[in-house]
Amino acid sequence: MPNPLSRMRPNANLVISADVLNDRPQLAALMLACISAWAHLESYLIGAVVDWIGEDAEEAVYALVNARSSKAQKELILERCRKVLAADQLEILEAIIEASDATAKSRNRLAHWVPAICPELPDHILLCDPKASWRIG
pLDDT in tens, 41-94: 888 887 887 887 776 667 777 777 787 787 888 888 888 888 888 999 899 888
Taking alpha carbons only, the member of 22, 9, 62 closest to residue 31 is: 22
Task: Tell me 2's DSSP state.
Answer: -
Q: Could you tell me which residues come within 8 angstroms of residue 64 by beta carbon, excluding any fewer than 6 positions away?
A: 46, 49, 73, 76, 77
- Mean pLDDT across 126-131: 86
> For position 12, what pLDDT does the model report?
80
The per-residue pLDDT of the chain, averaged, comes to 82
User: Has residue 3 been placed in a domain?
Assistant: no
Does a structural domain hold residue 66?
yes
State the pLDDT at residue 25: 92
* Residue 5 within a domain: no
40-to-35, 45, 47, 130 alpha-carbon distances in Å: 9, 9, 10, 25
CA distance 81 to 98: 15
Residues 100-125 have a mean pLDDT of 86
Say if CB 135 and CB 13 are below 8 A apart.
no
pLDDT at 136: 67
In a domain, 106, yes or no: yes
Q: How far apart are CA 99 and CA 89, in angstroms?
A: 15
The pLDDT value given to residue 137: 54
The domain in which residue 72 lies consists of 14-136
Instruction: Give the pLDDT mean for 101-130.
Output: 86
The pLDDT, as a whole number, for residue 56 is 64
Q: Report yes or no on 128 lying in a domain.
A: yes
Element spanning 126, H or E: strand 126-128
- What is the Cα gyration radius of the chain? 19
On whether residue 130 sits in a domain, the answer given is yes
Number of domains in the chain: 1
Q: Are 61 and 44 in contact (CB under 8 A)?
A: no
Q: Is residue 119 assigned to a domain? A: yes
Examine residue 7 and state whether it is found in any structural domain, yes or no: no
